[in-house]
């Protein structure tokens, strides 16, 4: 899994299950968090719920067209999330219309999934500041806004708990000692709290997460420290 892509969420909107599953396989292989929708109405609900880093949007969708979803994202939802349109519409007029609606890229079917992955990576690299968040299995942290969400429910964390969770999510699946945690949290190695105080804060953080989900994200590694498991 590519570490620099971990936690990046992609909403894949495609009514053809074969295409959707194929693209999903590639996305997961590249380390993305994948959210799926099969029609335009579901796409709008998933956008409001998850605010993904990038939207892969088929145009010919049931209920609400991809063009209308794109217009809604830009005008009503007022989001600048990157949008890549996936479509069988090949005319120059269709491409121009898609770009005018606010799409960042326009990929014609049939397309190469490998090339699509490159296009996604390029766009996310260019818009990195827009997607200033990390997501794992429904747990999302938005550092700039100072928010943590478990699916559609917001967690109320203390300043220290927030810093701890941010540190863990920036270093998924890595065992961190208490000493390392203190170094991450405090600049210039300033130790404002003891190592045992870290245990108390992590205990409280775990309890707050457990109130929203049974998933055990933060695990104790006996004799070594703690590990955030990217579920």
User: What integer pLDDT is reported at residue 43 of this predicted model?
Assistant: 97
pLDDT at 1: 35
pLDDT score of 187: 55
| Residue 24 CA: distances (Å) to CA of 17, 21, 44, 114, 224 | 10, 5, 19, 12, 35
Q: What is the pLDDT of residues 152-195, one digit of tens each?
A: 899 999 988 998 999 999 888 999 998 888 887 765 444 556 67
pLDDT beneath 50, residues of the chain: 1-6, 188-190
Strand partners, 55: 11, 83
169, 228 Cβ separation under 8 angstroms: yes
Q: What is the pLDDT of residue 133?
A: 76
Cα–Cα distance measured from residue 154 to residue 37, given in angstroms and rounded to the nearest whole number: 23
Domains and CATH numbers, the chain: 3-126 (3.40.50.2300), 134-228 (1.10.10.10)
pLDDT score for 24: 97
- The span from the CA of 203 to the CA of 143, in Å, is 21
pLDDT digits (tens, 9 = 90+) for 78-91: 888 899 999 887 77
Position 131 scores a pLDDT of 65
- pLDDT of 230: 82
Q: Which helix (H) or strand (E) holds 85?
A: strand 83-87
């Amino acid at each position: 899994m590519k570490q620099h892509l971990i936690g990046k969420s992609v909403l894949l909107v495609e009514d053809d299950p074969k295409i959707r599953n194929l693209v999903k396989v590639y996305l997961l292989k590249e380390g993305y968090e994948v959210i799926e929708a099969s029609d335009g109405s579901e796409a709008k609900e998933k956008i409001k719920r998850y605010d993904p880093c990038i939207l892969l949007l088929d145009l010919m969708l049931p209920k609400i067209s991809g063009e209308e979803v794109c217009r809604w994202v830009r005008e009503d939802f007022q989001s600048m999330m990157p949008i890549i349109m996936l479509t069988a519409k090949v005319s120059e007029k269709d491409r121009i219309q898609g770009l005018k609606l606010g799409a960042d890229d326009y990929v014609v079917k049939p397309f190469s999934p490998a090339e699509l992955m490159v296009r996604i990576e390029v766009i996310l690299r260019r818009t990195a500041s827009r997607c200033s968040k990390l997501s794992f299995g429904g747990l999302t942290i938005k550092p700039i806004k100072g928010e943590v969400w478990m699916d559609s429910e917001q967690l109320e964390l203390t300043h220290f708990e927030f810093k701890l969770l941010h540190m863990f999510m920036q270093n998924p699946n890595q065992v961190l000692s208490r000493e390392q945690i203190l170094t991450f949290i405090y600049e210039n190695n300033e130790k404002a709290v003891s190592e045992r105080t870290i245990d108390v804060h992590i205990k409280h953080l775990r309890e707050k997460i457990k109130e929203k989900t049974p998933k055990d994200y933060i695990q104790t590694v006996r004799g070594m420290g703690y590990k955030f498991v990217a579920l």
